[in-house]
Amino acid sequence: MANAIINENQINELLDQKASQAEIDEILNNALALKGISLKEAAILLNIEDKENLNKLYKIAKLLKEKIYGSRIVLFAPLYLSNYCTNNCLYCGFRFDNKSIKRKKLTTDEAISETRNILQTGHKRILLVAGEDTSQCNLDYVEELINKIYEQKLMNGEVRRLNINIAPLSVEEFQRLSTFGIGTYQSFQETYHPEIYKEMHPHGLKANYEWRLETMSRALEGGLQDVGVGALFGLADFRFEVLALLMHSQYLEKTYGVGPHTISIPRIEPAEGSDIASAPPNAITDENFKKIIAVLRLAVPYTGIILSTRERAEFRRELLELGISQISAGSKTNPGGYSEEKATEQFLVGDTRSLDEVILELATDGYLPSFCTSCYRVGRVGKDFMDLAKPGLIQLFCQPNAILTFKEYLIDYAGENTKLKGNQLINRFISDLQDSKQKELLLKDLKRIEEGTRDIYK
Ligand code: SAM
Ligand code: SF4
């Protein structure tokens, strides 16, 4: 199956694809139809280097982003369950051979306390993360924690969607995971380049490229509806990784009727005990990172692109424009990171601001922070989600849900400045609403929230 997912020769042939100015303009123009672009077209755009064409690319990416996602940015926080790992990924602080780090697996009580500390800041969506060590982090443990986390209620808040990034499972294990009530299952190929993959993953279960590559197929066959793919940028040529991510997405869509729900684009950050993490073999410049995001936005307009706090604050601001739809904020990358007793971090976080500081900046810049978790709760998942997203119908839900969940945040958690900016922003969105019926409904719901009702969603 692996050969059907990634055709290395085809990617290599496309890698240096160049085109005339007229062809570049045509690709950019056609992308406005929101139908995606071909692999060859993506390769051409990935090779653009002159300022003028890059600016054109960024402008189109920005237009598509606004068309599909408006100014909404969905927020989440990662919760690290365990940093025990039997793999040896050379770039990761959690790898087995890194004997100097403090290892920790959260007990149920510790996971509850981490959850409550995250809830206290206003988050509603958590991404569970763990190293790969089945003697420490198995499905019984994950199931128990998920149940306990969903039970937590704090002030007016609770976790409304748990996504999960844990080691790849078998089809039978995915079947079991699909009954735990999670949103998206994420796993990153790290690098799609087979040789570099081998070098970076010398032993452990993860050393098997094919097993890793077939993860999402097993997940979908096991009954999961939303899967998130990704590549760890800095290992191989970024053009190879983007083309492979697109090839993987096309394969999933063709085979299972639905492509990935999200694409993550982590860039390697320094990590304790990893030389590679401080000097990645194919380090990505900021300009190329922007290009990666813009080309993905044109190629798979309806797939969410996730940016983590690996990136520093000022740069994250620039990247939002180009197509990012979800960001983490106020993140810790170590088990126990939100509490007193902390273990070693997986990598260094580039944006260390609190959730409220991030929200204040988003609102000041005119972005609408969203804590919406509605789709997965009402069953708009997998193909059903894409069928609504493609004709633009999802907008009817996303915008009001974003405003309502942001209003909750402003009342329950925001600092004074954020409250002020946020309410001004909501008022502006309401006065821009053309549909008077929609406006009336939204005002009614906002009033209910002001009077104490929570968790209203469409
Ligand atoms: N252990 C599981 C795995 O490897 O799939 C899941 C969790 S792992 C902690 C999550 C992701 O962190 C990895 O897939 C990798 O892309 C990313 N990561 C590892 N080391 C990193 C580093 N030094 N900088 C940035 N991201 C890193
Ligand atoms: Fe373990 Fe995942 Fe880190 Fe690899 S990336 S060492 S599998 S935690």
Give the DSSP letter string of 417-445: HHHHHHHHHHHHHHHH---HHHHHHHHHH
pLDDT one-digit tens code per residue, 215-263: 999 999 999 999 999 999 999 999 999 999 999 999 999 999 999 999 9
Average pLDDT over residues 172-187: 97
Distances (CA, A) of 101 to 85, 271, 336: 12, 11, 14
Residue 70 Cα to ligand 2 middle (Å)? 35
Could you tell me if 275 and 418 lie in one domain? no
Average pLDDT over residues 79-107: 96
Per the DSSP assignment, residues forming a β-bridge with 134 are none
Residue among 184, 176, 118, 141 at smallest CA distance from 325: 184
Could you tell me if 175 and 322 lie in one domain? yes
Q: Which of 368, 389, 410 is the last residue of a domain?
A: 389
Residue 8 forms part of a structural domain: no
Residue 234 Cα to ligand 1 middle (Å)? 13
Residue 3 forms part of a structural domain: no
Residue 176 Cα to ligand 1 middle (Å)? 23
pLDDT surpasses 90 at 1? no
**CATH number (domain holding residue 365):** 3.20.20.70
Residue 394 Cα to ligand 1 middle (Å)? 31
pLDDT one-digit tens code per residue, 46-92: 999 999 999 999 999 999 999 998 899 999 999 999 999 999 999 99
pLDDT surpasses 80 at 270? yes
Residue among 124, 213, 217, 225 at smallest CA distance from 184: 225
Could you tell me if 404 and 299 lie in one domain? no
Relative to the alpha carbon of 103, which ligand is closest?
A: 2
By residue range, what is the domain housing residue 269? Answer: 66-389
Q: How many whole angstroms separate alpha carbon 195 and alpha carbon 282? A: 14
pLDDT surpasses 80 at 386? yes
Relative to the alpha carbon of 283, which ligand is closest?
A: 1
Could you tell me if 385 and 408 lie in one domain? no
Average pLDDT over residues 280-297: 97
For the Cβ of 206 lying below 6 angstroms from any atom of ligand 2, the answer is yes
Q: How many whole angstroms separate alpha carbon 164 and alpha carbon 285? A: 29
Q: What is the mean pLDDT of the chain?
A: 95
Task: Look at the block and give the residue holding tokens 């869509």.
Answer: 253
Could you tell me if 382 and 407 lie in one domain? no
Residue 29 forms part of a structural domain: no
Q: Are strands 304-307 and 326-328 parallel, antiparallel or unpaired?
A: parallel
Residue 88 forms part of a structural domain: yes
Lining ligand 1 with CB less than 6 A are 91-92, 129, 131-132, 165-167, 187-188, 190, 232, 266, 268-269, 271, 277, 310, 346-347
User: From the centroid of its chain, how far is CA 203?
Assistant: 27
Relative to the alpha carbon of 349, which ligand is closest?
A: 1
Q: Which of 365, 389, 413 is the last residue of a domain?
A: 389
Could you tell me if 409 and 382 lie in one domain? no
Could you tell me if 315 and 408 lie in one domain? no
Give me the sign of the Cα torsion angle 379, 380, 384, 386.
negative
Residue 6 forms part of a structural domain: no
Q: How confident is the model at residue 434 (pLDDT cuts 50, 70, 90)?
A: confident
Q: How many whole angstroms separate alpha carbon 352 and alpha carbon 411? A: 24
pLDDT surpasses 90 at 129? yes
What pLDDT sits at residue 316? 86
Average pLDDT over residues 398-410: 95
What pLDDT sits at residue 310? 81
Total number of domains in the chain: 2
Q: How many whole angstroms separate alpha carbon 311 and alpha carbon 294? A: 16
pLDDT surpasses 80 at 393? no
Residue 298 forms part of a structural domain: yes
Residue 456 forms part of a structural domain: no
pLDDT one-digit tens code per residue, 340-372: 777 878 888 888 999 999 999 999 999 999 999
Residue 249 Cα to ligand 1 middle (Å)? 20
Average pLDDT over residues 377-387: 87
Nearby residues of 74 by Cβ (< 8 Å), 6 or more positions away: 125, 304, 325, 326, 327, 370, 371, 372
Could you tell me if 299 and 422 lie in one domain? no
Could you tell me if 383 and 432 lie in one domain? no
Could you tell me if 177 and 305 lie in one domain? yes
Residue 129 Cα: closest atom of ligand 1: 7
Could you tell me if 283 and 348 lie in one domain? yes
Residue 32 forms part of a structural domain: no
Distances (CA, A) of 90 to 40, 98, 281: 32, 10, 11
Q: How many whole angstroms separate alpha carbon 205 and alpha carbon 221? A: 21
User: From the centroid of its chain, how far is CA 3?
Assistant: 26
Residue 409 Cα to ligand 1 middle (Å)? 30
Could you tell me if 348 and 445 lie in one domain? no
What pLDDT sits at residue 178? 97
Q: Which of 336, 370, 389 is the last residue of a domain?
A: 389
